[in-house]
Structure 1
């Protein structure tokens, strides 16, 4: 996921999908995912299952990763560099309470994609970028039912980061079709969405289409 330009002839922001926290029917979800990824540009899928045992996570990667790769979408596992490496994921996303970045890099290797949650803290993000993170994630920008959140950064954080640092930034947390464009215009390189895709009344594929239009400032 290379850093995106804000110049007019390029998309200012790309979609980064996150799975629901629980997937009751994995094969059915894989079919939904396939339709969604065929509907528009998606940079990555983060597999984030909580709570879930290791076998459940491995099974999810086994089923969902081939779908992603058919559409040239990166597969990122949440929290667990050990499982991400063992399962053949393209990368891992770590929080502040997970394995340190250096340890994640040692486990995953030099070519893996590693993202770091930085909440609303530019200093944390700067440290992550300086130490080789491939992207940093800020949020939650809006209330979300996907996970409990404490931090609520302002959109200005994205603008300052975009203007001063080359490492890409992901905006996360409660982003909807109504707010996606303002987050993109603020400077996010990627917008992470979960419920706004999988719970959309018109279906996940239609949601991907509409988010892409918003991120390209077409609606």
Structure 2
């Protein structure tokens, strides 16, 4: 079984000193991927905000993934794009962005959506929210067994998301999550301490 890894999701505000915070977080422990997630800014502004963060990730060989915005992912030549259920078909996105790009799909608590995403060529599927999240309103609450079911049947990695902290992540790691997607648990406090606390749990 592969080791579980950390997948950081940005806060909505990535201006100001956020690039320094991101660099500190990535240097604090192994992080596999960083998802750029902003709302209500135009693409030009989003690209301006993303570029320094993309450079920080590239220097550290951390995958840089754009949330929801295929056009922005194309413009920035991002490593990946994460699609919600309303953000397009992975097959079409693959045609537009090419075979190198990583495509992830939000599948909530649905086995059916996850299988559909896998068949459509997704590189990973995301399940959640496993715990109440301060970052996003959520109506889906899967159980950790969903991760085990997925791992037993499919090769495609799965991401666990939603209110995950160093204190509550143990059952998700044990159930078979390939990645823990975290935002608030890192950015709402000391990002270095949080990444180190997650790294301890991930080492198991």
**TM-score interval for Structure 1 and Structure 2 normalised by the shorter chain:** over 0.9
Residues of 1 paired with 2:96 and 2:173: CA distance? Answer: 32
1: CA distance, partners of 2:119 / 2:164: 27
Partner of 2:89: 100
Instruction: Give the gaps of 5 or more residues in structure 1.
Output: 7-11
Q: Find the counterpart in structure 2 of residue 149 from structure 1.
A: 138
- The CA deviation string for residues 5-53 of structure 1, in whole angstroms up to 9 with x for no partner, is 24xxxxx20000000022341xx11111111111110000000012222
Q: How does 1:40-119 map to 2 (within 5 A)?
A: 40-119=29-108
Instruction: Report how far residue 56 of structure 1 moved.
Output: 2.2
Q: Report SS of the residue matched to 1:43.
A: strand
Normalising to structure 2: TM-score of the pair?
0.97
Q: Please name the residue that 1:192 is paired with.
A: 181
State yes or no: 1:38 paired with 2:56: no
Q: 147, 152, 166: which one pairs with 1:158? A: 147
User: What is the CA–CA distance in structure 2 between the aligned matches of 1:34 and 1:118, rounded to whole Å?
Assistant: 30
SS of the residue corresponding to residue 93 of structure 1 reads strand
Q: CA deviation at 1:107?
A: 1.5
TM-score for the superposition, normalised by structure 1:
0.90
Per-residue Cα deviation, 1:43-101 (whole angstroms, up to 9, x for no partner): 00000012222122101221100100111100000001111011121110000011221
